[in-house]
Structure 1
């Protein structure tokens, strides 16, 4: 089993988010992530939230994820750093027309250890522990969608671009593809392979043999 895209579900979540948040002509993070989470039928959505009193996207994104959870009949957990953040988050969400998700207070490693099978993870890069959240996540065997929002602090020295395998993710995690999108202050998105996909990739790798000719120094790659 792996994550499968459903355009119909994505469209419904997209439109519901626009209606609930009052988003108009310009595309925003909220409806995009809502459609993405719903379209991939995410059963466990986790958001590592950080307050942003200037930008309304910090709570509208959460509203969109709550809407996606409703369409998926799944579970949505919001992780906050402290009690002050929890009170602010709950207060903001209660002013909307969506159901309040599970809100968990604590350190990244402790909280993520209790959440098994995450298939959609959104982390605000302004959190000081955002790398720990990604590294501590116990991802679903179906694969997962990882989203880092609000800029790019971790950048590859040569390309000046965000790099998922540059300390952000554990080396055991297999990134199938990644993309940078200009929504909000920037979204970095990675699609993580399912357990089945990782096994196939390893199997295909073993079908090739590298041989170096000692006399000429030439390298030959031979298929078994």
Structure 2
């Protein structure tokens, strides 16, 4: 199945609300577990001077989990959608996570050099971000500009199925009880995603071949490593 890009930013209020209300706890928790596992394997620890960026953070699912798991580390969620960050800020006002903040920034602008973010991260994380970029090299370019030397990377995203039929099957299997608007967006995201082989080549082309990419299950791949 050929890739069909979807809008880069989720800004329609009904879509944003459906996404923010959805239960992605299983997938979200796996990002944190993978990070914990990698830190242990690499003999790395996070400390109070470290800075973590959650790229294309959406309503803050991953940023919140990381901030709560490492309450002494500064976490910044970055997204280009004001509507998504409104959801994230609303949540933050309720749970008062002191080490978490958000920045409204178009990630493509970081890649192009239009925006020069003044800080660099010790850890860069993303979840279901890559497939939103029409040009994936903008995503990789932004990461290269935002990461310190020896920056830890962990990125998780959907795998594009082999056919429309398979995408429909996965949608019905994993979101059978979800609102139609969420099912429609999930189906579009599957079609907009990349294969593991495509991502492997992207990492080589972007000069990020030190990062490992592997399939986790029928829906997701992970990219992890240190540069």
Q: TM tier, shorter chain?
A: 0.5 to 0.7
- For 2:79 and 2:216, the matched residues in 1 are separated by 25
Matching of residues 178-197 of structure 1 within 5 Å: 178-182=213-217, 185-192=219-226, 194=227
- Which residue of the partner structure matches residue 130 of structure 2? 125
Task: For structure 1, list consecutive stretches of 5 or more residues without a partner in the other structure.
Answer: 1-22, 52-57, 156-160, 195-224
Residues 129/89 of structure 1: CA separation in 2 closer, same or farther (3 Å cut): farther
Residues 175/66 of structure 1: CA separation in 2 closer, same or farther (3 Å cut): same
**Bigger helix share:** 2
- Which residue of the partner structure matches residue 141 of structure 1? 149
Using the size of structure 1 for normalisation, the TM-score is 0.54
Greater Rg by CA = 1
- Which residue of the partner structure matches residue 163 of structure 2? none
Residues 142/148 of structure 1: CA separation in 2 closer, same or farther (3 Å cut): same
Residues 76/38 of structure 1: CA separation in 2 closer, same or farther (3 Å cut): farther
Using the size of structure 2 for normalisation, the TM-score is 0.53
The alpha carbon displacement at 1:103 in A equals: 0.9
Give the root-mean-square deviation of aligned CA atoms: 3.4
Matching of residues 6-155 of structure 1 within 5 Å: 28-38=26-36, 40=39, 41-42=45-46, 43-49=50-56, 51=58, 59-70=60-71, 73-96=72-95, 98-99=97-98, 101-111=100-110, 113-114=116-117, 115-123=119-127, 124-128=129-133, 131=136, 132-137=138-143, 138=145, 139-152=147-160, 153-155=193-195
- Which residue of the partner structure matches residue 171 of structure 1? 206
Task: For structure 2, list consecutive stretches of 5 or more residues without a partner in the other structure.
Answer: 1-22, 40-44, 161-192
The alpha carbon displacement at 1:167 in A equals: 2.9
| Residues 130, 139 of structure 2: 8 Å contact kept | no
Bigger RCO (CA 8 Å, 6+ sep): 2
- For 2:211 and 2:222, the matched residues in 1 are separated by 14
